[in-house]
Amino acid sequence: MIKIMSDAMKSVRIAAMEELIGTEIKVLDKGFVRLIDYMGDDAAIVQAARVSYGAGTKTVNEDAGLINYLMRHRHTSPFEMCEIKLHVKMPIFIARQWLRHRTANVNELSGRYSVINNESYLPEIEELCVQSKGNKQGRDVQIAEERAKQIQQYMQDHANETFEQYDNMINNDNLARELSRITLPQSTYTEMYWKIDLHNLLHFISLRNKPNAQKEIRDFADVIAEQIVKIWVPHSYNAFMNYKMNAVTFSGVEMAELSQLLDKEKISAFIEANSKAKGELREMCEKLQAMLNKQ
């Protein structure tokens, strides 16, 4: 039996992540994200990517370069080598959006088994905004403050009333919990354990930390990205920000339009000057050439 061990094969523990385990990071008024466990790090991603030619981890710079390359070229499977398990508490209307991400493993609190806590989400006054005209799924400017206060009070009263009835049905009528719960509002908090690999987590963040996503799920996605992923896999986080979150894609029609707006001579000169370039610069020249060809 031959055993080959390298440092990259040892179970990885990251000091800042160890410190974070168990800590509730507050989101919204009563929600949280809590790190339960994690597997792998940036080195695990490069180790998996290099398996084809048997080389282990190289220098930090080479590793970061390889992660950039993988992210840029959508070579996604090495990112699946890292996994994370979170305990999340969110309002039901956010859980409904969250659970659309099918590539995670989930175990949610059961309203059939447990009595649900009297906890519901109450938006801040400044979040009570009018329907957006441009984005049919979004909100616009804040409602007049006086009216916003009344609406907030109504939301609170409604939640209190339904929870009072819920308690009555459970405690005085002994109505089954699975039926008593059906009157509770969508703002009621639920909890789940959520385990996902890094590739699919980044996909989740890319969809839910964008301005067109609902503000409340954006808050969760932002906490996960900035307070967990960034310290867990910093090179992957940087690559993700650069090549996904801060990148822009143009359609064929848009590229043709764009090529009309830009100085073609300057672009051709740039391509010519970098004709021997390698890596990212070469890829940029190829993209610029493709745009010129669209005219």
Ligand X SMILES: Cc1cc2nc3c(=O)[nH]c(=O)nc-3n(C[C@H](O)[C@H](O)[C@H](O)COP(=O)(O)OP(=O)(O)OC[C@H]3O[C@@H](n4cnc5c(N)ncnc54)[C@H](O)[C@@H]3O)c2cc1C
* Positions marked catalytic: 208
Nearer to ligand X among residue 163 and residue 240 (C-beta): 240
Q: Any contact of residue 50 with ligand X (CB under 6 A)?
A: no
How far apart CA 295 and CA 158 sit, in angstroms, is 59
CB of 286 to ligand X, least distance (A): 26
Q: Any contact of residue 132 with ligand X (CB under 6 A)?
A: no
Three-state SS at 78: helix
Q: Which of 87, 100, 103 is nearest to 199 (CA)?
A: 103
Nearer to ligand X among residue 103 and residue 114 (C-beta): 103
Nearer to ligand X among residue 36 and residue 207 (C-beta): 207
Tokens of 166: 């819920």
Torsion 108-109-113-119 (CA) sign:
negative
Helix (H) or strand (E) holding 243: none
Q: Any contact of residue 203 with ligand X (CB under 6 A)?
A: yes
Q: Any contact of residue 34 with ligand X (CB under 6 A)?
A: no
The 204-243 site mask, x for binding ligand X (CB under 6 A), equals ---x----xx------------------------------
Q: Any contact of residue 14 with ligand X (CB under 6 A)?
A: no
Q: Any contact of residue 105 with ligand X (CB under 6 A)?
A: no
Contact with ligand X (CB under 6 A): which of 100, 133, 136, 266? 100
Q: Any contact of residue 102 with ligand X (CB under 6 A)?
A: yes
The full DSSP string for 198-237 is HHHHHHHHHHHSSTTS-HHHHHHHHHIIIIIIHHHSHHHH
Size of interface with ligand X, in residues (CB under 6 A): 10
What contacts 189, CB < 8 A, 6 or more positions away? 30, 31, 89, 90, 91, 92, 117, 119, 120, 121
Q: Any contact of residue 245 with ligand X (CB under 6 A)?
A: no
Q: How many other CB atoms are there within 10 angstroms of residue 116's CB atom? A: 21
CB environment 15-54: b (16+ within 10 A), e (fewer): eebeebeeeebebbeebbbbbeebebbbbbbbbbbbeeee
Nearer to ligand X among residue 30 and residue 218 (C-beta): 218
DSSP summary character for residue 115: P
CB of 97 to ligand X, least distance (A): 7
Contact with ligand X (CB under 6 A): which of 152, 162, 200, 274? 200
Nearer to ligand X among residue 143 and residue 201 (C-beta): 201
CB-closest chain residue to ligand X = 102
CB of 178 to ligand X, least distance (A): 25
Tokens of 74: 């959508």
Residues that bind ligand X (CB under 6 A): 100-103, 137, 200, 203, 207, 212-213
